[in-house]
Every structure is written in structure tokens, then in C-alpha cells.
């Protein structure tokens, strides 16, 4: 595994400032459940059987992101439907372009299809283990750099509300959280359930996103929770780390109680380095950035830039199949 001196310093910062209180691997195979099947009390609304039903599969990480097997016993059907039709739909729209291009199959409706509009609509879909692009060369939102053997796609996102995307990430963290830690996050719990996105919560609505170039497994996810070691340190109490294919997300989970000493202070943090086994000399270095998800109104006509490299290309112009 390659690591730069700057990444080593960032890693050392997190190793000394935080401790991992849980790591969850999600991949094809046997289902894993969080909670006790004999205690059916919803973590989010506080209601239990027989008032509430618990018949639906409650995915800890939304199924749209590729999680098929990590489930919980403590999310009732009403909360499941509310999240799925609300904030998780916003997260799905926000992540859709890269889920298509990275061929992330949710196991239900498959790999999402991207479609363009206009006089000559285009379409990108996962097909037979690869990407099928249906478009006239001049209608596809892309540019090519033949010297670098790369294609840059400028792909549209479906409508989403940024703060709802943030709430969906926080919902994952609250689902993974140990029972004894939940008492510190009443404010966040109320916030993610509030359909009025104008109501603010404590802490920042900024997440950190790292993109790792190169081929990565697209059927595995990893989630972890980091908890602050020193309660007086000037850093958020907890973080959710979510890694999927080429993307890694670092999401602050702010506690009104545990982070009271941080209110009104400007906090600057390095991005937690995440690693892959690909050769950086071939595929390039990981790129990290902060993403502001504080906007409370819908975003339309947003686009995501995705760069993909190729080893060779073949001009199919004039090609036809079938007998002469």
C-alpha cells in the first residue's frame, strides 16, 4: 500500500485523536443483523410492537448504494418507508451518476440508468458486466483527451435537496451507533426526522469526499464509526466513514452534549486518508474535497463530472452486423 508523508501525518492525527468503535463490511453473502430480534422497538420513533410493524427489510446503508446484507431489527416499517421515500431518495439522486458509471448494483432494480433529454436523447446503462452507452457522438455530454486516454463525462443529477442528503448520511451513522451512545444524539435524531429542512441543527453540514482512481470492487462497502478519545479535544465527537468502490465519505456526527465546547468555533480538520491497493503511479493519487450540504432548497440542473480512462478504443463507424 502506497502512502505519502502528508497522508501519514493525517493518518497519525486520526489514530491519536479518534478510536474506531465499530467496523462493518458489506458484501455478497450471508445477511448480518444489528439488534435483537426479540426486542422490536424502533430506534427512530421509539414505538414498538404491536403498535408498529417490523416486516420490511431495514437496510443499515440504503440498498441503492449497494448494501444488500447489513440490516437492522430496530427500524419500524413506517420509519423505513419515510426515510426511503424522503431523505434516502435525495441521497440516491445525488449519488446516481457515479453509481451508474461504477456499475453499483442494488440487487433489486439493478444498476441505475442515466438518460438525457432533447432532440437526440442519450442513455447509459449497466449491461452484461459493462457500461452500454447509447448516443450520437455529438449529443453525449462528454469530452475526450486522446493524449491521456481519458473521457470526461458531465452527467446530470436528478433533483435533490443537499441538507436531505446530509440527513441520509447521518441516518446511517445513527443506525450503526451503539445503544449507549444514542443518548448523546437526541438533537440529530429529531433533526433527521423533521421534514422541514429549514430547521437547523448543531454542527456542520459539510462532509469530506475522497475519490480513488483505478479499478475497485463495486460489490463491497465498508462503514466505520470513529469516536473522539479526549473529550476536551477541539474536534467533533464522532465521525461516520463510508467507503464504496472509488468513493469514501467522512461525515461528522455532532453531539449537542459532547460538542458544546465547540459551538461558535471554527474547526479545521484534515481529511481522513483511505487507501486502496491499486498502483498510484499508473492510476494517480486520491483526490479529497469538502462538500457543503447545507442548502435547504431543491437543486435542479446539477451535474457531476466523472473522468474515466481507457486502454484502447476502436472506431465502430460503418460497422454492421449480420450477413452481407
What is the chain's pLDDT, residue by residue, as a tens digit (324 residues)? 667 889 999 999 999 999 999 999 998 888 999 999 999 999 999 999 999 999 999 999 999 999 999 999 999 999 999 999 999 999 999 999 999 999 998 877 789 999 887 677 888 988 777 888 887 766 778 888 888 888 898 999 999 999 999 999 999 999 999 999 999 999 999 999 999 999 988 788 999 999 998 888 888 899 999 999 999 999 999 999 999 999 999 999 999 999 999 887 888 899 999 888 888 888 888 999 999 999 999 999 899 999 888 877 776 655 443 333
Q: How far apart are the C-alpha atoms of 211 and 190, rounded to whole Å?
A: 31
Report the first-to-last Cα separation within the chain, whole angstroms: 53
Report the pLDDT value the prediction gives residue 45, as an integer from 0 to 100. Answer: 96
Pairing of strands 206-211, 287-292: antiparallel
Q: Answer whether 296's CB lies under 8 Å from 161's CB.
A: yes
- Phi, psi at residue 242, to the nearest 5°? -130, 120
Which of helix, strand or coil describes residue 67? coil
Hey, what's the cell of 216? 475497485
Report the pLDDT value the prediction gives residue 215, as an integer from 0 to 100. Answer: 85
In the 8-state DSSP scheme, what is residue 270? Answer: P
Amino acid at each position: 500500500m502506497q502512502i505519502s508523508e502528508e497522508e501519514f501525518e493525517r493518518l497519525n492525527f486520526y489514530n491519536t485523536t479518534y478510536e474506531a468503535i465499530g467496523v462493518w463490511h458489506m458484501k455478497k453473502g450471508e445477511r448480518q443483523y444489528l439488534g435483537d430480534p426479540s426486542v422490536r422497538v424502533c430506534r427512530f420513533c421509539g414505538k414498538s410492537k404491536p403498535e408498529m410493524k417490523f416486516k420490511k427489510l431495514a437496510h443499515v446503508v440504503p440498498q441503492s448504494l449497494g448494501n444488500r446484507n447489513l440490516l437492522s431489527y430496530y427500524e419500524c416499517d413506517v420509519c423505513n418507508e419515510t426515510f426511503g421515500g424522503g431523505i434516502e431518495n435525495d441521497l440516491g439522486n445525488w449519488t446516481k451518476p457515479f453509481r451508474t458509471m461504477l456499475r453499483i448494483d442494488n440487487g433489486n432494480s439493478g444498476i441505475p440508468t442515466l438518460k438525457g433529454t432533447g432532440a437526440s436523447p442519450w442513455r447509459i446503462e449497466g449491461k452484461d458486466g459493462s457500461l452500454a452507452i447509447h448516443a450520437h457522438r455529438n449529443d453525449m455530454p462528454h469530452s475526450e483527451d486522446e493524449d491521456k486516454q481519458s473521457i470526461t463525462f458531465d452527467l446530470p443529477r436528478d433533483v435533490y435537496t443537499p441538507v436531505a442528503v446530509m440527513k441520509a448520511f447521518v441516518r446511517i451513522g445513527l443506525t450503526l451507533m451503539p445503544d449507549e451512545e444514542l443518548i448523546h444524539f437526541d438533537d440529530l435524531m429529531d433533526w433527521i426526522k423533521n421534514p422541514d429542512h429549514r430547521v437547523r441543527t448543531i454542527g456542520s453540514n459539510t462532509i469530506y469526499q475522497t475519490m480513488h482512481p483505478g479499478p475497485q470492487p463495486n460489490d463491497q462497502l465498508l462503514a466505520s464509526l470513529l469516536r473522539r478519545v479526549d473529550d476536551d479535544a477541539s474536534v467533533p465527537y464522532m465521525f461516520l466513514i463510508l467507503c464504496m468502490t472509488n468513493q469514501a465519505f467522512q461525515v461528522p456526527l455532532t453531539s449537542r452534549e459532547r460538542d458544546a465546547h465547540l459551538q461558535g468555533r471554527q474547526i479545521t480538520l484534515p481529511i481522513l486518508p483511505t487507501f486502496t491497493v491499486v498502483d498510484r503511479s499508473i492510476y494517480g493519487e486520491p483526490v479529497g474535497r469538502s462538500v457543503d450540504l447545507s442548502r435547504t432548497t431543491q437543486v435542479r440542473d446539477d451535474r457531476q463530472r466523472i473522468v474515466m480512462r481507457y486502454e484502447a478504443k476502436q472506431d465502430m463507424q460503418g460497422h454492421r452486423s449480420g450477413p452481407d
